[in-house]
Amino acid sequence: MDKMPRASKQSEALLRSLMPESKDVTLRPMFGNLSAFVSGNMFMGVFGDDFLVRLPESDRAELLKVEGSAIFEPMKGRQMKEYVVVPRSWTRDPAKVRPWVTRSLDWSSKLPAKKPKKR
């Protein structure tokens, strides 16, 4: 079994720098990395050195046309089809990632809120 990749300090710093300031947005661990949630729904995150955003179908299709982007696949053969990994070169230029974070938050904010799991 492959080990889960861990986010680098740079990946986590990028995620934190792109976190929208909103009382509805929270940051928590996911897949041993960090992800941002709105109303309990994950809308962006890091997975190793990959930065991913959750998008509606039309936005996914647009982003997937960009070389270096891909459907997020945390484990081989287990795609999370609503999530797209942005090109790695973009992680050095947050201005390229920010509009996609905005689209992701806008869309994910409209999804039904998830109830917190009882522990």
For 88-97, the pLDDT digits (tens) are 999 999 999 9
Q: To the nearest whole number, what is the mean pLDDT of the chain?
A: 92
What's the confidence (pLDDT) of residue 118?
A: 61
Residue at 115 is within a domain: no
Residue at 4 is within a domain: no
What's the domain range around 75? 9-109
DSSP letters for 15-77: HHHH----TTEEEEEETTEEEEEETTEEEEEEETTEEEEE--HHHHHHHHTSTT-EEEEEETT
Residue at 16 is within a domain: yes
pLDDT band at 61 (very low <50, low <70, confident <90, very high): very high
For residue range 66-103, what is the model confidence (pLDDT) as tens digits?
999 999 998 889 999 999 999 999 999 999 999 999 99
Write down the pTM of the prediction: 0.90
Residue at 91 is within a domain: yes
Residue at 117 is within a domain: no
Tracing tokens 């990994």 back to the chain, one arrives at: 85
What's the confidence (pLDDT) of residue 1?
A: 44
Is the C-alpha dihedral spanning 49, 10, 26, 5 positive or negative?
A: positive
Residue at 2 is within a domain: no
Residue at 41 is within a domain: yes
* Residue 74, domain CATH: 3.90.1150.30
Domains in the chain: how many in total?
1
Q: Which two tokens stand for residue 100?
A: 């996609």
Output 105 or 23, whichever has higher pLDDT: 105
Tracing tokens 């080990």 back to the chain, one arrives at: 3
- The answer to whether 107 and 53 are in contact (CB under 8 A) is no
